[in-house]
Amino acid sequence: MRRVGFVVNPIAGMGGRVGLKGTDGKVEEARERGAEPRAPGRARDALESLATHAADTDETIELLVAGGEMGASIARDVDFESEVVTDPPGETSAADTREAVRQFVERVPLAAERNSRAAEPRDEGVDLVLFVGGDGTAVDVAETLEEYDSEIPILGVPAGVKIYSSVFAVSPRAAGRIAATFDDTESREVNDIDEDAYREGEVHTELRALARVPVAEEVQSSKQLGGGTVATLAAGVASEVEPGTTYVLGPGSTVGAIERELGFEGTPLGVDVWRAAPDPEDGEWPTGEVLARDASADEILDVLGDRVVVVVSPIGGQGFVFGRGNQQLSPAVLRQSEIEIVASRRKLDDIGVLRVDTGDTELDDELRGWRKVRIGRVERRLMKVV
């Protein structure tokens, strides 16, 4: 029998599609921009996967959940029997996440209640805290466990905009599979960043906690900020610009170097849209115009042309091409675009494989397989998207 505590941050990731780069203090603005909740759907995927893989391995799962949209309603939607341990108010907060975790720790194991001949009750109530959110939620979970000096392992279902911590599975379904089948744990970092600085194009990471996490290949690494020279790579992309083509340029320093080659200073942590001149005159090339800066998914869709190329670079240390920090590149955008992946040799050596998590499982399947990644002016390397 395995006891799992399940808690959802229902507003996690809402700012991503609308270009806010996070939801901290921006929930109302995200809603005004038309943001839709992202976390509930990912939570459902994780629970369905947990149930499937538990059944495949004959593992009995006892699920403890936070109340309402923080877990109970989602468990009910997928017919997963659960025990509700908290009753959060309508507008949830980090304090509600922390209270749920306290209940996961403090409740007496059900097996001991039912069977007086069961093994001696444990001091800790659950075998795993499975949470849905981003780095802020990870901090809430890990810091609450530290209050008890607890080594209960945690595992994140990725739903936030920025995910710098190494306590998340690579996808919701991977999280469910790991939760049902893991045998061992290891210590990993919980990091967070200042979202206000992040929105201004600066990344300041801070180690907030250490947590036990299941050992599995599909637990992502923490994001690395290091890079290398990409001057020749950027020059190569600029030299192949096609007249009239719209280029959707993702976040990061590598793509930023390409934007400078195109003649403008881009948004370091946002998505910009640039269109090459349709009829270039004699003289300096490429020339074009910036159609949108720091654009949301809807703003990108509004300016797409006949031919569109999305230019992205994978996240160092993790390998994610889509789904981490660039949710503005929505499935609707990607389905209308060609994709060019760019990266330094060093980054690819550190990554090993590429990953996608667009929120659209059918699109993810279409994107998987071998892809060419530009690593220089003309050089490309085959990398597998898994």
Q: Which of 301, 378, 381 is nearest to 347 (CA)?
A: 381
Residue in the structure block whose two tokens are 């936030």: 160
Per-residue pLDDT tens digits for 367-380: 999 898 998 887 88
CA distances from 161 to 164, 199, 262, 278, 333 (A): 10, 12, 27, 35, 17
Per-residue pLDDT tens digits for 172-199: 999 999 999 999 999 988 988 765 555 5
Percent with pLDDT over 90 in the chain: 61
Q: What was the pLDDT predicted at 380?
A: 85
Residue 21 — φ and ψ, nearest 5°?
A: 60, 30
CA 243 to chain centre: 34
Q: What is the pTM of this model?
A: 0.66
Cα angle, residue 169 at apex, residues 329 and 272 outer, rounded to 5° = 15
Per-residue pLDDT tens digits for 305-360: 999 999 999 998 889 999 998 999 999 999 999 999 999 888 888 888 999 999 99
What are the residue ranges spanned by the domains of the chain?
Answer: 2-214, 231-385
CA distances from 251 to 15, 207, 344 (A): 15, 23, 15
Q: Residue 232: helix, strand or coil by DSSP?
A: helix
Q: Do 233 and 376 form a contact (C-beta atoms < 8 A)? A: yes
Task: Read off the tokens for 96.
Answer: 């509600």
